[in-house]
A = this chain, B = another copy of it.
């Protein structure tokens, strides 16, 4: 079988193509940093999907996880430098999406 096309950005493809990942990144960019608050902020996301996305985005180096040794322990997420770069790209996609819909109607 002839070699098939690889994705131009294999790791980011399933991030930018996933509304939950994008919504979680944008919420954290807006300062929502704790899992409980994220679940309330990103409407419709389940606890399972949220924790999967947080784990994936952290493993990709887009989020940093901070655990505070309190009782109960407090966990906070923040954007890494690469996470901030991605959110800026996502914002460009959002503007272009509005532009495309505007020129279509």
Majority secondary structure, A binding face: helix
How many of A's residues come within 8 Å of B, CB to CB?
43
Total copies of this chain within the assembly: 2
Nearest neighbor of A101 in chain B, beta-carbon distance: B11
The answer to whether residues A9 and B82 also contact, given A44-B4, A61-B104, A89-B92 and a CB cut-off of 8 A, is no
Q: Let me know if A8 and B93 touch, CB within 8 A.
A: yes
Q: Let me know if B8 and A62 touch, CB within 8 A.
A: no
The answer to whether residues A3 and B97 also contact, given A16-B17, A17-B18 and a CB cut-off of 8 A, is no
Q: How far is it, in angstroms, between the C-alpha of A76 and the C-alpha of B11 when the chains are bound?
A: 32
The answer to whether residues A103 and B5 also contact, given A16-B93, A96-B86, A97-B12 and a CB cut-off of 8 A, is no
CB-contact partner of A96 in B82, B93, B97, under 8 A = B82
